[in-house]
Amino acid sequence: MGSLHENNVSFSPSLLVGEFKPLDHEEFRRQAHQMVDFIADYYKNIENYPVLSQVEPGYLRNRLPDTAPYLPEPFENILRDVQEDIIPGMTHWLSPNFFAFFPATVSSAAFVGEMLCTCFNAVGFNWLASPAATELEMVVMDWLAQLLNLPKSFMFSGSGGGVIQGTTSESIICALIAARDRALESLGAGGISKLAVYCSDQTHSTYSKACKLAGIFPCNIRIIPTTADNNFALSPIVLRRVIEADVASGLVPLFLCATVGTTSTTAIDPVSQLAEVADRYKIWLHVDAAYGGSACICPEFRHYLDGVERVDSLSLSPHKWLLSYLDCCCLWVKQPNLLVKALNTNPEYLRNKRSELGSVVDYKDWQIGTGRRFKALRLWFVMRSYGVANLQSHIRSDVRMAKMFEGFVKSDPWFEIVVPRTFSLVCFRFNPYKDSDPTYIELLNKKLLDSVNSTGRLYMTHTVAGEVYMLRFAVGTTLTEDRHVYAAWKLIKESAEALLKRSYYIV
Amino acid sequence: MGSLHENNVSFSPSLLVGEFKPLDHEEFRRQAHQMVDFIADYYKNIENYPVLSQVEPGYLRNRLPDTAPYLPEPFENILRDVQEDIIPGMTHWLSPNFFAFFPATVSSAAFVGEMLCTCFNAVGFNWLASPAATELEMVVMDWLAQLLNLPKSFMFSGSGGGVIQGTTSESIICALIAARDRALESLGAGGISKLAVYCSDQTHSTYSKACKLAGIFPCNIRIIPTTADNNFALSPIVLRRVIEADVASGLVPLFLCATVGTTSTTAIDPVSQLAEVADRYKIWLHVDAAYGGSACICPEFRHYLDGVERVDSLSLSPHKWLLSYLDCCCLWVKQPNLLVKALNTNPEYLRNKRSELGSVVDYKDWQIGTGRRFKALRLWFVMRSYGVANLQSHIRSDVRMAKMFEGFVKSDPWFEIVVPRTFSLVCFRFNPYKDSDPTYIELLNKKLLDSVNSTGRLYMTHTVAGEVYMLRFAVGTTLTEDRHVYAAWKLIKESAEALLKRSYYIV
């Protein structure tokens, strides 16, 4: 922020006093310290808030003015409004009693890493615009690849490389565009009508969205059904049959997305066998290991990635299970040149000798947008602050707590496990009269879910797979301990009992 | 993080001691306070660092270990390495002597807002997952729309609405997909081969990338040349001629991107006249006001948005000129239903009564990905902490400093303004012998740029428009004051003089 007279070479610092200085370092220090205490207290007291917000739609608009203020307001007033107006409308994702969706895990290390990323505000679109931002990202992507025991073909120290995206959606789009443009090079632009893509009915919904976004004809998106018998994994045999039919009808198989840990039930597609099929038809195989991939830093889970040496790309979101805060999705590719070919831009104003010599990585050519943050700091702080040992024990601890909950369910005659547990998600249902009407069981479970969530004491969600409605109990927010899992089970049991008592009179 | 025995309902808190607790609130407090002081000191001393990093490619890989540590490392060691290994590799975007690209402006208010966003780590994909995150975003998007004097048709309080994206690229893709899918509804999927899109040769390079990404045939992307006579604005007359030729050859005009403040020279496309053409051919008109839009919160600049009431969508990046840190790009649309239609997903596990009643906004259907952060907090903190009055004076101060620099250039016989200044970017060149060979002038300016940037005392970049190589002096990092602009000019002058002295012997 400047000051002073126009078009005048002379300079008088005294006139600077009393100006608008939005980054005065002492004011910054004061406010940021105050915010640290606010946040530390929030974490300390987080269990006191209802996990699922209990507000009604429109609650906030009614509380806030219609326009921004003309004059500044004190920091303290804004903090007060955070407490009074914002917090009641939060669903507290970091509450230890949050068992919905998948937990979005965090840590002190990632928080301070994120502060530093914000601090620099470096826009690392190319190497020169921030060498450290690019190079640290290359280093941490290789580190994480090693933790996962990925082959060298995915590492910068080998022949591949990795990049931090925001979300799985972005990772899939980038891989898909690279595959698409490689195919269109020989087919011509009109060939897009012939490209067929594959997934299962358990693949994340963002995959079909990404395919449509990339111009794949909706009629050429094959969503292959799975079954409970197969634990909702994509069958290589069925896949092959579908591909063969497509080839026979003149389509060109382009892309397959396999999942290690689906969002609904953590189903695991057999990567190795799918890679065989993909190989045969020259299909780009992407593995979405957004959630399940993190577990593979433990040797006992690594086998779920077996066959990864034969796939083309892999994505994993440390913001889910590696304590990293949002948003952080790691994408590794075997052939970075294909990404760059599809996604590069070369405006004059970004040209520089380093890029032209081809001696550096310019990450703008590995992603959708141009601008990008220095997110690698977060992963660097996490890996260094905790070490591989603690990260492994963190995964194991969550799985152990999920097993504990699974044990509660199994040992209770009123409840049942619906899909075998693999990682830290338990899919179960309340089924007190084993042979009753499926519609009635569904209704009962919906009522149970509503009743539990409306207490504010925990938050769970549901899913449907193989036409069965089930409850999802996803263990593992950073603050969750055994006592929270135990208390959750107790609440679920009590609510089920109350429901049953009432339903004697209702049904 | 849990603890304890498996499959056992009894519970003993004493066993919790000594565990891995990555979010212990007192440890968090200690580290975060330490980081605040680190950052405040960095801001205090930022002028001591070379603006443009002077490291060589690969510098960091050589300093860091090849693998992540197995055991934890102390926070203090990591901070030390930030100072010793990371900072030398930073190009300091927040340095007051950074005049490259466009500045990415920041503020204490946005920093603490961002801390709070990180703190909650709310994944606001739908309303229920965090009502406050969705509703505050709706509120601040309306507030900012009012600051810009946008018509009600872009506001939630009218018939439209806004959403916070990461980058302009994402905003353009979302608008483009909405337009594309509306068109394909009547044309059928095969119609994609007929869709033509329009921009000028000054439009951001991400636009063509977005079009290709969306499956628009590269041969149907019309990049219309501009000229220096017209200050590099897109001519509605030429546009119309191109469109007519396309229509005559059977193409379907789909989308036009107009820019208010291009990246190269801050050229301004005539929105109102372009809207007339777009209207006539039923083309979706998007305005990319990433940088220039922010100036329009001042009444004296608002006329650059005249005609916006006739466009379909508008994007603006507060991370550029509204003190907001990365990444934050605001997208307003007149018909949110078209965005939602093109981008919605509906997996079972996200279903909830609120969404099914249609009474709430689910922002996952307004963007590419599913997950999203609570970025609205940053804009809310900025607008409340500073008020409209200070935000306007911040814009004016930057423009005034740019005018001052423009004055220096104009008053010096060795230099000349190449493109008339509009906002806070000055496009100029060193041209001591007015009628010399253009190749020689270009060489001279390249040498001048290298010589200035290699001092580390400032960082400027260049561009080429109308085949003329010129230097870009973009004023306005948050910490820039008159004295920095003055010192920059002095350095440029001195370097030019030295260059001229040397070139007597070279040329």
pLDDT in tens, B300-317: 999 999 999 999 999 999
DSSP symbol at B64: S
User: In this structure, are B299 and B257 located in the same domain?
Assistant: yes
CA distances from A503 to A114, A415, A440, A506 (A): 50, 17, 11, 5
A357's tokens: 């010599």
User: In this structure, are A58 and A158 located in the same domain?
Assistant: no
Query: Would you place residue B356 in the very low, low, confident or very high pLDDT band (cuts 50, 70, 90)?
Result: confident
Q: Do A57 and B359 touch (CB under 8 A)?
A: yes
Which residue is listed with tokens 């429901």? A499
Contacts of B39 in chain A (CB under 8 A): 28, 32, 115-116, 119
Instruction: Express each pLDDT in A337-365 by its tens digit.
Output: 999 999 999 888 888 988 888 889 999 99
Query: Would you place residue B502 in the very low, low, confident or very high pLDDT band (cuts 50, 70, 90)?
Result: confident
Count of domains observed in chain A: 3
Q: End-to-end alpha-carbon separation of chain B, Å?
A: 70
User: In this structure, are B464 and B424 located in the same domain?
Assistant: yes
Instruction: Express each pLDDT in B319-333 by its tens digit.
Output: 999 999 999 999 999
pLDDT of residue B1: 46
Query: Would you place residue A3 in the very low, low, confident or very high pLDDT band (cuts 50, 70, 90)?
Result: very low
Are B444 and B461 in contact by the 8 Å Cβ rule? The answer is: no
Q: Do A33 and B35 touch (CB under 8 A)?
A: no
Contacts of B354 in chain A (CB under 8 A): 57
Closest CA to A236 of A206, A275, A197, A267: A275
| B120, B370, B384 member nearest A93 (Cβ) | B120
Give the total residue count for chain B.
507
Q: Do B404 and A6 touch (CB under 8 A)?
A: yes
CA distance B133 to chain A (A): 7
User: In this structure, are B212 and B358 located in the same domain?
Assistant: yes
According to DSSP, the residues that pair with A40 across neighbouring strands are none
Q: Do A130 and B86 touch (CB under 8 A)?
A: no
Q: Does the pLDDT of residue B4 top 60, yes or no?
A: no
Instruction: Express each pLDDT in A215-265 by its tens digit.
Output: 999 999 999 999 999 999 999 999 999 999 999 999 999 999 999 999 999
How far is Cα A310 from Cα A320, in angstroms, rounded to an integer? 25
pLDDT of residue B359: 86
Q: Do A215 and B214 touch (CB under 8 A)?
A: yes
User: Which residues are within 8 A (CB) of B137 and not within 5 positions of it... i.e. 6 or more apart?
Assistant: B124, B162, B163, B164, B363, B375, B376
Instruction: Express each pLDDT in A438-486 by its tens digit.
Output: 999 999 999 999 999 999 999 999 999 999 999 999 999 999 999 999 9
**Helices B168-187, B205-213: crossing angle, 10 deg rounding:** 40
The answer as to whether B382 is a domain residue is: no
Mean local confidence (pLDDT), B201-208? 96
**Considering only alpha carbons, which residue of chain B is nearest residue A109?**
B22
CA distance A324 to chain B (A): 10
A78's tokens: 């804004």
Q: Which of B121, B176, B315 is the best substitution to test chain A (most A C-beta atoms within 10 A)? A: B121
Domain of B76: which CATH number? 1.20.1340.10
User: In this structure, are B220 and B161 located in the same domain?
Assistant: yes
- The H or E element spanning position B342 is helix B336-343
Q: Do B57 and A461 touch (CB under 8 A)?
A: no
Provide the number of CB pairs (under 8 Å) joining chain A to chain B. Answer: 563
User: In this structure, are B323 and B459 located in the same domain?
Assistant: no
B124's tokens: 């606001």
User: In this structure, are A186 and A325 located in the same domain?
Assistant: yes
The answer as to whether B101 is a domain residue is: no
How far is Cα B60 from Cα A136, in angstroms, rounded to an integer? 7
The answer as to whether A106 is a domain residue is: no
Contacts of B143 in chain A (CB under 8 A): 67-68
**Degrees, nearest 5: CA angle A424-A428-A431:** 165
Q: Does the pLDDT of residue A291 top 90, yes or no?
A: yes
Q: Do B35 and A166 touch (CB under 8 A)?
A: no
Instruction: Express each pLDDT in A377-423 by its tens digit.
Output: 999 999 999 999 999 999 999 999 999 999 999 999 999 999 999 99
| A1, A89, A129 member nearest B131 (Cβ) | A89
How far is Cα B507 from Cα B500, in angstroms, rounded to an integer? 10
Domain boundary among A328, A359, A374: A374
Q: Does the pLDDT of residue A504 top 70, yes or no?
A: no
Q: What mean pLDDT is reported for chain A?
A: 94
Which residue is listed with tokens 């300091």? B92
The answer as to whether B17 is a domain residue is: no
Residue A156, judged by CB atoms within 10 A of its CB (0-12, 13-18, 19+), counts as buried
The answer as to whether A464 is a domain residue is: yes
Query: Would you place residue B504 in the very low, low, confident or very high pLDDT band (cuts 50, 70, 90)?
Result: low
A345's tokens: 């831009």
Domain of B286: which CATH number? 3.40.640.10
User: In this structure, are A460 and A333 located in the same domain?
Assistant: no
Percent of chain B with pLDDT over 70: 95
| A119, A170, A190 member nearest B368 (Cβ) | A170
The answer as to whether A449 is a domain residue is: yes
Closest CA to B316 of B339, B289, B334, B335: B289
Q: Does the pLDDT of residue A15 top 60, yes or no?
A: no
Phi then psi for residue A8, to 5 deg, are: -140, 125
pLDDT of residue B8: 38
Range of the domain at B35: 23-45+59-89
- Number of neighbours of residue B64 by Cβ within 10 angstroms: 18
Contacts of B78 in chain A (CB under 8 A): 380-381, 384-385
User: In this structure, are B83 and B174 located in the same domain?
Assistant: no
CA distance B75 to chain A (A): 6
Domain of A494: which CATH number? 3.90.1150.10
Q: Do A36 and B37 touch (CB under 8 A)?
A: no
Q: Do A213 and B82 touch (CB under 8 A)?
A: no
Domain boundary among A44, A73, A91: A91
User: In this structure, are B329 and B214 located in the same domain?
Assistant: yes
pLDDT of residue A357: 85
CA–centroid distance for A489 within its chain: 26
A490's tokens: 């107790």
Q: Do B94 and A120 touch (CB under 8 A)?
A: yes
Contacts of B89 in chain A (CB under 8 A): 130-133, 135
Mean local confidence (pLDDT), A492-499? 96
User: In this structure, are A150 and A291 located in the same domain?
Assistant: yes
The answer as to whether B277 is a domain residue is: yes
Q: Do B8 and A157 touch (CB under 8 A)?
A: no
How far is Cα B164 from Cα B12, in angstroms, rounded to an integer? 46
User: In this structure, are A304 and A184 located in the same domain?
Assistant: yes
The answer as to whether B304 is a domain residue is: yes
